[in-house]
Amino acid sequence: MTWWRSRWVVVPTLLVLIVLGWNAYVWTHDGGRIEGTVIDARGHPVPGAEVILYARSFLTNDERARTQTDGSGHFRFAGNASHALQLQAQAPGLGRSDRITLRLLFAGEDTKLRRPLRLGAAS
């Protein structure tokens, strides 16, 4: 009964397990939700700011969705289907934020921005 110890069984089995495990992780985390906050130049959260989501390919960035921040400056996107994005926030009178690039491990990964989008940074 040592046939199962041969490398031709162990390695493919390991690979299959890794693939299955990864797929399970992807399946549970692919809601396409992007969350973050927008702050102004002084660090206060900005309600009602507009956030634009762009989808990146090798050559182009296409706008995909827009949303507004809620009362505490949070915003959420749902249903993102891309694996590489750009986000930019703007609010009247407070300027725009830098366009930041977000690269995900798989399309539609649920992510929370680590740093808030800061208005007034871009020209």
Partner 1 sequence: MKHPIRHAVMIVVSVLMLLPFYWVIRTAITNDNIYAYPPHLLPRDPHPYNFVDVWYLIPFPRYLLNSVVVSVITVIGNLVLNAVAAYALTLPFVGRRAVLLLLLSCMLIPFQATIIPAYLITARLGLLNSYLGLALPMLSTIICIFIFKSAFESVPRSLIDAARIDGLGEWRIIARVLLPLSRPAIATNVVLAFIWSWNSFMWPLIITRDATMQTLPLGLARFLSYMEDTTGALYAFVVMVLAPGILVFLMAQSAFIRGLTAGATKG
State the residues that interact with partner 1 by CB under 8 A: 7-8, 11, 57-58, 83-84, 103-107
C-beta closer to partner 1: residue 57 or 123: 57
Contact indicator for 62, 80 with CB cutoff of 8 Å: no
The token pair at 108 is 């539609």
* Minimum gap (Å) between residue 71 Cβ and partner 1: 34
Q: Can you tell me the distance from the alpha carbon of 121 to that of 89, in angstroms, rounded to the nearest whole number?
A: 10
* Minimum gap (Å) between residue 58 Cβ and partner 1: 6
* Minimum gap (Å) between residue 24 Cβ and partner 1: 18
Q: Can you tell me the distance from the alpha carbon of 41 to that of 100, in angstroms, rounded to the nearest whole number?
A: 16
